[in-house]
C-alpha cells in the first residue's frame, strides 16, 4: 500500500510537476556524443539549462577554453558553442552538484569492449556506466529520469535500474533508452535533421510519462512523426541492429572489392549499379580499407555476445563474419603493399596519409590506420604519418594501446616507437617514401599536387588509395604503380 502511494505520487510528480518544470539537464560524459548532443539541445531549448560534466578536468577546461581547440572537432560545432556556452550550456567538473540540481541525467560515457573477464573481447565494459549509476544514486536528493545515450548492450537499462534502486534511499528513477545515431563528421547535421529519434521506456504509466518528457525536448526541433516511442529493449536492440546492418553493407561491398580485383570488374561501378536499386539504396556502399570508429565493431561484438549468451550460435557466427571481412580487408591492403615492395619493407619508408577513421573528425578509434601501421612496423618498415586533424599524442597513444593489448614486450614497444615519425604536413611525410597509403578520405588529399609529391618519393613510387578518392587518369601520368580498392 505504502509503495503504491509512493508510486502514484511519483507518477503524479512526473506527469504534473516535471512536465512544466524541466529546467535543468545534466549530461555525464563530455566526449564525442555528450558534447555535440548537448550543444544542440541547448541551442534548440533555450528554456533549459544544460550542464555537461566529466571527470576528466583537462577535457572540461578545453570545452571552456578556446573555440579553436575544443576537444571534439565537428563541422558546425564551434559556432553553436559560441552561441550557447555561458547562456544555457555549461561545462563543469562539479559532477555531484550538477546531478543534484538536474531533473534529467543523460549518460554519455564511454563503453569500450571488455579486455578481461567473462565476455572479454566481445561484451561491453560497463565500468563507466556503473560508476555513473552509483554516483547518481549517491548524490541525488530528488527523483530523476536517467537517459542512456551511449551505445549499450541490450538490457543495460535493467542493470542501471538495479544499481539505482539498491543504492538510493527510496528515490524513484525512470530509465530511458535514447540511443545516439550521430555519425562523426556530420554529427551536427545528423542532430539537426535526425532520420528518427528513438525513445524507449518502461511500458508502465510512469515509464510512458518519462518518455513523453524526453519527447518534449526533441519536439523543439524534430517533427513528431520522426520520434519513435518503443519499449526499452527494442530501443537498445535497434541501435545495435542499425550499426550492425550499416557495417554489414560495408563488409559486403569490401568482400566484393576483392572479387573485382580478381575478375576485372570495378567496385565503384558495381556499387553504383547495385545502389541504384531503390530497394538497396546507395548509402554505405563505398569500398574502403575497412571500417573503423568507436561503434561498428563494438556494437557487432555486443550482438555476437548477446546471441551466444542466448544460445543462438548461428546468429552469432553470422554477425561475426562482418568483422572478419573487415579484418580481411585491412590485411589484404597491407599485404598488397608488402608484395609490391618485393616482399620486404625492412628499413623502407612508408607513408600513411590519414589517421582518422573517416574524414572531418579528429577521432581515430578503431581506425584501419592503426593495424595497418602495426603490420608495417612488425615487418621493420619506417612509418611516416600525416593527418590534418589527429594530434601526434593521439597517434602515439593509439599505437601504444595496440602494442600493450597485443602483449608486445617493453623492448619491442621502444623499438617500434622509434620507427614512427609524425609530421604536420604531407610533403614532409611523403619525402623519400617508397609507398604512400591513403587511409582516410580527407578532401585535401584529392587536391594535392601529386606530380610534385611523387617526384619527392623513391622509385617505384607506389600510391595505394585505400579510399578510391584519387583520379586514376591523372595520377597514372606520374607513376605506373597506382592501386585502388576493387579495381
**Cα dihedral angle (67, 74, 193, 222), rounded to 10 degrees?**
-50
Q: Nearest distance from residue 411's CB to ligand ADP, in Å?
A: 31
Of the candidates 26, 30, 323, 437, which one interacts with ligand ADP according to CB under 6 A?
30
What ranges make up the beta strands (E) of 194-329?
A: 197-201, 227-231
Let me know: does 106 contact 37? Beta carbons within 8 Å: yes
Per CB under 6 A, does 156 bind ligand ADP? no
| Host H or E run for residue 218 | helix 205-218
31 sits near ligand ADP (criterion: CB under 6 A): yes
34 binds, among ligand ADP, ligand UDX, none (CB under 5 to 8 A by kind): ligand ADP
The binder of 303, among ligand UDX, ligand ADP, none, by C-beta within 5 to 8 A per type, is none
295 as an active site residue: the answer is yes
Cα angle, residue 411 at apex, residues 410 and 416 outer, rounded to 5°: 100
| Binding region for ligand UDX (CB under 6 A) | 180-184, 243, 246, 250, 284-286, 288, 291-293, 295-296, 357-358
Residues 37-66 that bind ligand ADP (CB under 6 A): 53-56, 59
Nearer to ligand UDX, 136 or 191 (CB): 191
Residue 469 binding target from ligand ADP, ligand UDX, none, CB below 5 to 8 Å by type: none
Question: Whole-number minimum distance, CB 325 to ligand UDX, in Å?
Answer: 12
Binding partner selected for residue 24 from ligand UDX, ligand ADP, none, CB under the kind-specific 5 to 8 Å limit: none
Q: Find the binding residues for ligand ADP in span 273-332 (CB under 6 A).
A: 294
> For ligand UDX, which is the closer residue by CB, 285 or 350?
285
Helices (H), 288-420: 296-309, 313-340, 368-378, 392-405, 410-418
Select from 18, 32, 291, 450 the one that contacts ligand ADP (CB under 6 A): 32
CA distances (Å), origin 192, targets 73, 80, 156, 189, 294: 17, 12, 27, 5, 22
Rounded CA-CA distance 136/101 in Å is: 11
Give the residue from 344, 242, 347 showing the smallest Cα distance to 295: 242
Burial class (CB in 10 A: 0-12, 13-18, 19+), 416: buried
For the bound state, the minimum distance from the C-beta of residue 425 to ligand ADP, rounded and expressed in Å, comes to 27
Q: Does 29 bind ligand ADP (CB under 6 A)?
A: yes
Q: What residues form DSSP beta bridges with 27? A: 52, 106
256 sits in which H/E element: helix 232-263
Report the catalytic residues. Answer: 295
Amino acid at each position: 500500500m505504502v509503495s503504491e502511494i509512493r508510486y502514484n505520487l511519483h507518477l503524479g510528480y512526473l506527469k504534473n510537476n516535471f512536465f512544466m518544470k524541466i529546467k535543468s539537464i545534466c549530461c555525464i560524459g563530455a566526449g564525442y556524443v555528450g558534447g555535440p548532443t548537448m550543444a544542440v539541445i541547448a541551442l534548440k531549448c533555450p528554456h533549459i539549462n544544460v550542464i555537461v560534466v566529466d571527470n576528466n578536468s583537462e577535457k572540461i577546461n578545453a570545452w571552456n577554453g578556446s573555440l579553436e581547440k575544443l576537444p571534439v572537432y565537428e563541422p558546425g560545432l564551434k559556432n553553436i558553442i559560441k552561441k550557447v556556452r555561458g547562456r544555457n550550456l555549461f561545462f563543469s567538473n562539479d559532477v555531484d552538484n550538477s546531478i543534484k540540481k538536474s531533473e534529467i541525467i543523460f549518460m554519455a560515457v564511454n563503453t569500450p569492449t571488455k579486455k578481461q573477464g567473462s565476455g572479454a573481447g566481445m561484451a561491453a565494459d560497463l565500468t563507466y556506466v556503473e560508476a555513473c549509476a552509483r554516483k547518481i544514486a549517491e548524490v541525488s536528493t530528488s527523483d530523476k529520469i536517467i537517459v542512456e545515450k551511449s551505445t549499450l548492450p541490450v538490457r543495460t537499462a535493467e542493470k542501471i535500474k538495479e544499481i539505482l534502486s539498491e543504492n538510493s534511499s527510496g528515490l524513484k528513477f525512470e530509465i530511458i533508452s535514447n540511443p545516439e545515431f550521430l555519425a562523426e563528421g556530420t554529427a551536427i547535421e545528423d542532430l539537426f535533421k535526425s532520420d528518427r529519434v528513438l525513445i524507449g521506456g518502461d511500458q508502465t504509466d510512469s515509464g510512458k510519462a518519462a518518455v513523453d518528457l524526453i519527447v518534449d525536448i526533441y519536439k523543439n526541433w524534430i517533427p513528431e512523426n520522426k520520434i519513435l516511442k518503443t519499449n526499452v529493449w527494442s530501443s537498445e536492440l535497434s541501435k545495435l541492429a542499425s550499426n550492425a546492418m550499416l557495417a554489414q553493407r560495408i563488409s559486403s561491398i569490401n568482400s566484393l572489392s576483392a572479387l573485382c580485383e580478381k575478375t576485372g570488374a570495378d567496385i565503384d561501378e558495381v556499387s553504383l549499379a547495385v545502389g541504384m536499386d531503390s530497394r538497396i539504396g546507395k548509402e554505405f556502399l563505398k569500398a574502403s580499407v575497412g571500417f573503423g570508429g568507436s561503434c561498428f565493431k563494438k556494437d557487432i561484438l555486443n550482438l555476437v555476445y548477446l546471441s551466444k549468451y542466448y544460445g543462438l550460435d548461428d546468429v552469432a557466427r553470422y554477425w561475426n563474419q562482418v568483422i572478419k571481412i573487415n579484418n580481411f580487408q585491412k590485411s589484404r591492403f597491407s599485404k598488397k603493399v608488402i608484395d609490391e615492395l618485393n616482399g620486404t619493407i625492412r628499413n623502407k619508408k612508408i607513408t600513411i596519409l590519414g589517421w582518422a577513421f573517416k574524414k572531418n573528425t579528429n577521432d581515430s578509434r578503431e581506425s584501419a590506420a592503426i593495424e595497418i601501421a602495426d603490420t608495417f612496423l612488425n615487418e621493420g618498415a619506417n612509418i611516416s604519418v600525416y593527418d590534418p586533424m589527429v594530434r601526434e599524442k593521439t597517434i602515439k597513444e593509439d599505437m601504444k594501446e595496440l602494442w600493450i593489448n597485443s602483449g608486445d614486450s617493453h623492448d619491442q614497444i621502444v623499438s617500434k616507437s622509434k620507427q614512427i615519425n609524425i609530421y604536420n604536413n604531407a610533403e614532409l611525410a611523403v619525402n623519400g617514401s617508397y609507398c604512400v597509403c591513403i587511409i582516410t578520405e580527407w578532401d585535401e588529399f584529392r587536391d594535392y599536387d601529386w606530380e610534385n609529391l611523387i617526384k619527392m618519393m623513391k622509385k617505384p613510387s607506389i600510391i595505394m588509395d585505400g579510399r578510391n578518392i584519387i583520379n586514376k587518369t591523372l595520377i597514372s601520368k606520374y607513376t605506373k604503380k597506382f592501386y585502388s580498392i576493387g579495381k
